[in-house]
Every structure is written in structure tokens, then in C-alpha cells.
Amino acid sequence: MAKQRQTIRDHTAEANLFTSRALISVVVVTSFMLLILGNLYDLQVRQFEDYQTRSNGNRIKLLPVAPNRGLVYDRNGTILAENRPVFSLEIIPEEVSDLEATLVALGELMTLTDSEIKRFQKERKRQRRFKPVALRSQLTHDDVALFSANQHRFPGVTIEARLSRFYPFRDTLTHMLGYVSKINKRDLEKLQDSGQEANYAATHDIGKQGVEKYHEKILHGQVGYQQVEVNSQGRIIRVLDFQPPTPGSDIVLNIDIELQKKAQEELAGRPGAIVITDTRDGGVLALYSSPSYDPNLFVHGISQKNYSALLNSRRSPLLNRTTQGRYPPASTIKPHLALLGLEEEIIDEKTKIRDRGVYKLRNVAHRWRDWKKGGHGIVDVTKSVEISCDTFYYDLAYRLGIDRIHESMTMFGFGEYSGIDLHEESAANLPSRGWKRARFNEPWYIGDTISVGIGQGYWNATPLQIAQSINTLVNKGVRYTPRLLKGYLVEDQVIDEPVIMKEPVVVKNEKNWDVVLDSLYGTVNREHGTAYRAFRKTEYISAGKTGTAQLFTVAQDAEYEEENVAKELRDNAMYVGYAPYDAPEISIAVTIENAGGGSANAAPLARNVMDFYFSQKKGIVASSHIEQVKTDVQNRTIEAISGGE
């Protein structure tokens, strides 16, 4: 049938028709092929660079590598903050054939808690199978040893080490050294604002307090990068390039850890502060705030329970009393006011008053009492410091007026930040008319000035400010900014930071310094001096001033009886001093809260610390030399007294 039909068809016409359609097809096919080629040309030639960039963007990743944090040493090379490896047990799920069995076996080895396993399982589900997941984050040395011995049984389970901060002296350096802790949201925002975010891309911890915070930039270092090729799941195929991180600088502090430990030992947990500085350059040798706590608690995240215990303690252990504690400076500022009186020629070396134990002003009903009932009798400026006569200073302050006091005491650093390399600092308060107006919207009364005359009333200061002010006296007006940072450790060589000077206190009459310093000498070395008993028979000559700060206003007709006053309202004991007298090296400021009188409670403690300091360097200062100096000074004093009379 097919054959029959074919015979009547015009085969040539059909063939020609087909040929023409086939030719059209060839043209169409060719043009479509050219279209494909044109598109490929567009992608592979014209847009080549764009796609090459995107292809590299796909496969090349920069992995930040955290720099090692700089170490912190004391002035003698003792390490104060170090990096210790912490070990964590990690599992790479992909490499473990039977995860359940592995967990059971590990549990037999080191008893895993339910919460550890739970956290691990949760984390595992969120991670790619080839990424390690931590099972236990802080292994004990026993765990490490135990696992290492059994490692062959656990393919896919590894121990990873990470460096973490450790403070070997624990609560001895807490407030001053501070601590590092995990970078939180607020830290991150600050890093973003300062453009430091990239530098911290791999960093775990950041300085939160103290030196760790203040010198964060120096200690942190510069982030490094690993350029790696990754596949679409983020698995690292190979490392293409490595730019190592620059570790943070190792720093040396002015702190003498032995002195710091001595300060801690002397305060013995009583709330208070000890500041020891080098009078020659402002270097801070010891800065101890009591009570303290162990900063290592914060490094790995403090528990809520421990934290609220610290936060809510009535003894405020979180407060850095040395720089944030605001105490009335009390009698410790008498020498400064004496200097001001001499300078302003309101008094001179010979000015004497008769102290009957009470100070009165004409037409004022209020009586200002001296600490000594019945008064000190005839008192000149030198004796006023030595015996700490209040009446002398009531009168001096009255005659100076608050404006002159404010101006002068500001020059000594009161009411201002000391500039120490710590962020935790208070400027405390040196009152003025303007301050009182702004604060209470009240005028300044004469009575306010009279309280200021004995370092009470609205006046308060930090122990560091007090230490700084005595240094200014010792250095006859030359002022150094107190510094913790001594220098950098570069290849076992300490490169010292320059000493920072402040605007000096300038006097009209240089002799006035000697009068004031001599009164400090007398406080310690003359029998009537308030610190004489505490410093008897020292092997060095020191000078200083005691202070007893009233926290409780005694009623006009009542007596202060220690037993009748609540513990937290009892007097603060204070002492500020320096040594050796003829060639000053160190100064010390001691504040003990609610301990009572300064000469009985603070001065002996200061002596113990100074004894310790000089016993450490006994070999250097020969005792015969001390005797020589002692006689020299005695002679000079006798001259001064006889000359005066």
C-alpha cells in the first residue's frame, strides 16, 4: 500500500521542499548556536573580571587569628598577668563513627554532667559536621592527663588549647591590675565606634578594669590573618597565605609586688587603702584597695551568685578605694594650708596662737572644738602640724577664705583627676562657692570655710590625691603624674616611658617649703609629734602627718565616745608620710575606714610598710649614714627653734 502511494507522489518536489526546510533549519540552528556563543563571550570575556572576583569571593576567606595578649610584669620582673593554656575537649562529629558510644565511653573516663551533654548536643545540631564542638570547656589537669592516655580510643575527639588570662597574685592586685573578660555587646559597640572591630575579630577577651582596660591598646596587639580556600560548606581546603598576628606588648609596671603584698597584709581585709609612690617620678609602687577579690573569677565568666555577692556586699569590694574612695582628707592637708598661710603672709614662722580647745567667732554662736580637750596652749605653725592643732587651722582658714584655699589646693591636685593610668578614678571634691551654689543652691558660709580648714566639711579626696599632694610638698612644688606603667619589655630590655610632669606649684618664698617639711619631720621625730610613738627607733628617718577624719558630727554639747558611735560612723584613720627625710624616695598614704585615730591606727601600719621597704634595700643605705643625717637634722631644728625664740 505504501509503495502504491509513493508512486503517485512528486518525489522531487517533496525532496526540494524538505531540503529548503532543512536549510532553513541549518540557518536557525547556526544562529542559535551563535547566540549561545555570544552569551558565553559576554560572560567569559566582557564580564570576566567581575565573575572572577565573585568566584574568588566564594572560595577565599580571611580567617582572623587573635594576637597573644602582652604580659604584665612588676618593676622587678615578677609576672603579674600571664597567658595560660586552658584546655577544652572537642569532638568533630564527622570523624566519630558512633557518637553515642563515644559519649558513654568518655563519661566513664571523666563523668560528664547532663548539662554538658545537653549543651554539646544542642551545639552539634547547629554546626557543620566537620566543625569541632566543645564538650567540656575547662579541663582540669587530671582530665587532660586521663584523656591523653586514652586518646587512641577516641578518634575524632581532641583536646584544644586556648590561651587565657591568669592572675597569679589573685586578690593582691585586683583593683589596680583589673581583669579581662569575654567581649560583650557594649564592648563590641565601642570597638565598632573606634574602628577596632576588625582588629578584635578573633579576640575572645578584652580588658574590663584597671591596667588591663587602660592599656588595652598596648596589650592587645594586632590581629593576623589566615587566607584559606573553603568549599561551599565552609570546610577549609587549604591555607593560601598566613599573615601572623602581632602580639601585644609586654609591659612593666612601677608596682613592686612585694610592697603590694605587704600593703595587703597590713590592711588585713579591713576596708581601706594604701598608696605608695616613688616621690622622684610619680611611679606607683603599691596601690592596694581592701577588701579585694580574685579577678580570675571574671576571666571565664563569673557566676551570677558570686557576682551579686560581690556587688551587694556592704564592704563594697568592687570599689577601688585608692582612686575612687572619697574620704575627708582631715589633718593630712594641714601642712598644705600652713604653706598657703605662710605664702599669703597671713602667718609667719613666728606667729603663735593660744589654743584653749575651742574656736569662736565674734557674733557666731557656733563653737568649733579642737580634738584635744582644753587645747594645746601656745602653738606656732610648726607645732600646729606636729601636734595637729585644729584651732590654729580654724583661724587660718577663716583668715584665708575659701577662694584662696580653693585656688591653692587645686594646684596640689585636690578636686582633680590625678591622671593615673586607670579609668576607675574619682576627682572627689574640693569645695568652692561656685560648687556649693551649683550643688545646693546655697551661699557659702564662713562656717563652711572653717570646717575646710581641718580637711572636713565638704572637702573630700581620694587616697591617691592625698599621696600626690604630699609628693608635691616633698618635691617643693614639682609635680609628677602618678603612673602605673613604667615601660615596655622589648627583648628583655625595659624601655622606660617618659615621666609625665604637671604644672608645678610656685611659691614666693622658697624658705616656706622648709618650714612645712620641717613640721612634717617634727610630727614623726619630735616627742610631741602625733606620729612619734609609731615611728620610734626606725632605721631611717621619715616625715609625715596623721589624720583622723570625723564621719559623725558630735552635738555641740556632747563628747565623741567611740563606744557610742555605730561602727560605720567611727573615725577614719589616716597617715601620710615619706622617707628618707633628707633624700626622699617613697611616700605612703594610708586610709583605714572606721578604725579610729590616725596616729594610733594608721601610722603604725605605715611604719611597718616603710620598715619593710627599707629592710629590702638595707645594703644600700648604711646605718651610719642614717645617724649622721639624724644629727644634722636635729641640729638644724634646734637652730630653727632657738632662732625663733
Partner 1 sequence: MAANNKSKIKSNKATFLERIHIDGFLLFSLMSLMVVGLLTIYSSGGQEQELVNRQLVRLGLAVGVMIGLAQVPIMFYRRIAIYAYSLGVFMLIAVLLFGDIGKGAQRWLDLGFIRFQPSEIMKLAVPLMLAMFISRKTLPPNFGNIAIGFALVFVPTILIAKQPDLGTSLLVASSGIFVLFLAGMSWRLIGFIGALGVTFAPIMWFFLMKEYQKQRVITFLNPESDPLGSGYHIIQSKIAIGSGGVEGKGWLQGTQSQLEFLPERHTDFIFAVFSEEFGLIGVFGLLIMYMCIILRGLHIANRAQDAFSKLLAGSITLTFFVYVFVNMGMVSGLLPVVGVPLPLISYGGTSMVTLLAGFGILMSISTQRRLLSRAT
Residues making up the annotated binding site for Zn(2+) are 355, 370, 376, 389
Q: What are the cell numbers at 541?
A: 628617718
- Which residue's CB is nearer to partner 1, number 22 or number 506? 22
Q: What are the cell numbers at 370?
A: 579642737
Q: Which amino acid is at 356?
A: R
Q: For residue 231, state whether it binds partner 1 (rule: CB under 8 A).
A: yes
Instruction: Say how far apart CA 56 and CA 46 lie, in whole Å.
Output: 18
Q: For residue 44, state whether it binds partner 1 (rule: CB under 8 A).
A: yes
Q: Give the binding range for partner 1 (CB under 8 A) out of 36-44, 216-224, 328-336, 465-473.
A: 36-44
Q: What are the cell numbers at 346?
A: 597671713
Q: For residue 94, state whether it binds partner 1 (rule: CB under 8 A).
A: no
Q: For residue 129, state whether it binds partner 1 (rule: CB under 8 A).
A: no
Of these residues, 249, 289, 331, 469, which one is catalytic?
Answer: 331
Among the listed residues 417, 347, 357, 431, the one whose alpha carbon sits nearest the alpha carbon of residue 387: 357
Q: For residue 47, state whether it binds partner 1 (rule: CB under 8 A).
A: yes
Among the listed residues 449, 325, 467, the one whose alpha carbon sits nearest the alpha carbon of residue 395: 449
631: helix, strand or coil: helix
Q: Binding string to partner 1 for residues 8 to 27, with x set by CB under 8 A, is what?
A: -xx--xxx-xxx-xx--xx-
Q: Give the binding range for partner 1 (CB under 8 A) out of 42-50, 144-152, 314-322, 443-451.
A: 42-50
Binding-site positions = 355, 370, 376, 389
- Which residue's CB is nearer to partner 1, number 232 or number 556? 232
- Closest contact distance (angstroms) between CB of 210 and partner 1 is 45
- Which residue's CB is nearer to partner 1, number 54 or number 122? 54
- Closest contact distance (angstroms) between CB of 31 and partner 1 is 11
Q: For residue 236, state whether it binds partner 1 (rule: CB under 8 A).
A: no
Q: Which amino acid is at 222?
A: Q
Q: Give the binding range for partner 1 (CB under 8 A) out of 54-62, 185-193, 425-433, 613-621.
A: 54-62
- Closest contact distance (angstroms) between CB of 42 and partner 1 is 9
Q: For residue 59, state whether it binds partner 1 (rule: CB under 8 A).
A: yes
129: helix, strand or coil: coil
Q: For residue 55, state whether it binds partner 1 (rule: CB under 8 A).
A: yes
Tally helices (H) and strands (E) across the chain: 25, 25
Question: DSSP of 418-438, one letter per residue?
Answer: ---S-S-----B---HHHHHH
Which residues partner with 252 through β-bridges? 73, 487
Count CB atoms within 10 A of the CB of residue 331.
29
Q: For residue 48, state whether it binds partner 1 (rule: CB under 8 A).
A: yes
Instruction: Say how far apart CA 398 and CA 361 lie, in whole Å.
Output: 9
Rounded-to-5 percentages of helix, strand, coil across the chain: 45, 20, 35
CA atoms within 13 A on the CB side of 118: 3
Among the listed residues 386, 388, 385, 406, the one whose alpha carbon sits nearest the alpha carbon of residue 397: 406
Site for partner 1 (CB under 8 A): which residue of 82, 95, 229, 343? 229
Q: For residue 45, state whether it binds partner 1 (rule: CB under 8 A).
A: yes
Q: For residue 554, state whether it binds partner 1 (rule: CB under 8 A).
A: no
- Which residue's CB is nearer to partner 1, number 51 or number 445? 51
Looking only at Cα atoms, what is the longest distance across the chain? Answer: 160
Site for partner 1 (CB under 8 A): which residue of 4, 41, 139, 367? 41
Q: For residue 242, state whether it binds partner 1 (rule: CB under 8 A).
A: no
Q: Give the binding range for partner 1 (CB under 8 A) out of 5-13, 220-228, 564-572, 625-633.
A: 5-13
How far does Cα 318 stand from its chain's mean position? 12
- Closest contact distance (angstroms) between CB of 46 and partner 1 is 9
Question: DSSP of 242-263, one letter per residue?
Answer: EE--EEPPEEEES--HHHHHHH
Q: Give the binding range for partner 1 (CB under 8 A) out of 178-186, 231-239, 302-310, 406-414.
A: 231-239
CA angle 406, 409, 415 (to 5 degrees): 80
Instruction: Say how far apart CA 593 and CA 330 lie, in whole Å.
Output: 13
Q: For residue 227, state whether it binds partner 1 (rule: CB under 8 A).
A: no
- Closest contact distance (angstroms) between CB of 181 and partner 1 is 36
Question: Does the annotation count 331 as an active-site position?
Answer: yes
Look up residue 454 and give its DSSP letter.
Answer: T
- Which residue's CB is nearer to partner 1, number 40 or number 268? 40
- Which residue's CB is nearer to partner 1, number 113 or number 231? 231
- Closest contact distance (angstroms) between CB of 96 and partner 1 is 23
- Which residue's CB is nearer to partner 1, number 18 or number 552? 18
Q: For residue 230, state whether it binds partner 1 (rule: CB under 8 A).
A: yes
Instruction: Say how far apart CA 140 and CA 172 lie, in whole Å.
Output: 24
Torsion angle defined by CA atoms of residues 534, 535, 537 and 539, in that order, rounded to the nearest 10 degrees: 140
- Closest contact distance (angstroms) between CB of 485 and partner 1 is 48
Q: Which amino acid is at 241?
A: D
The answer to whether 308 and 448 have CB atoms below 8 angstroms apart is no
- Give pairs for 129-134: CB < 8 Å, separation 24+: 129/92, 129/93, 129/94, 130/92, 130/94, 130/233, 130/235, 131/92, 131/234, 132/90, 132/91, 132/92, 132/158, 132/160, 133/90, 133/91, 133/92, 133/93, 134/88, 134/89, 134/90, 134/160
The answer to whether 588 and 576 have CB atoms below 8 angstroms apart is yes
Which residues partner with 205 through β-bridges? 182
- Closest contact distance (angstroms) between CB of 55 and partner 1 is 4
- Which residue's CB is nearer to partner 1, number 48 or number 552? 48
- Which residue's CB is nearer to partner 1, number 6 or number 313? 6
Q: For residue 51, state whether it binds partner 1 (rule: CB under 8 A).
A: yes
CA angle 457, 458, 460 (to 5 degrees): 100
65: helix, strand or coil: strand
Q: Give the binding range for partner 1 (CB under 8 A) out of 28-36, 443-451, 471-479, 546-554.
A: 28-36
- Which residue's CB is nearer to partner 1, number 15 or number 495? 15
- Closest contact distance (angstroms) between CB of 48 and partner 1 is 5
- Closest contact distance (angstroms) between CB of 314 and partner 1 is 56
Site for partner 1 (CB under 8 A): which residue of 4, 12, 27, 36? 36
Q: For residue 499, state whether it binds partner 1 (rule: CB under 8 A).
A: no
Q: For residue 233, state whether it binds partner 1 (rule: CB under 8 A).
A: yes
Q: For residue 112, state whether it binds partner 1 (rule: CB under 8 A).
A: no
State the catalytic residues.
Answer: 331
**Residue numbers at the binding site for partner 1 (CB under 8 A):** 2-3, 5-6, 9-10, 13-15, 17-19, 21-22, 25-26, 29-30, 32-33, 35-37, 39-41, 43-45, 47-48, 50-52, 54-56, 58-59, 229-233, 237
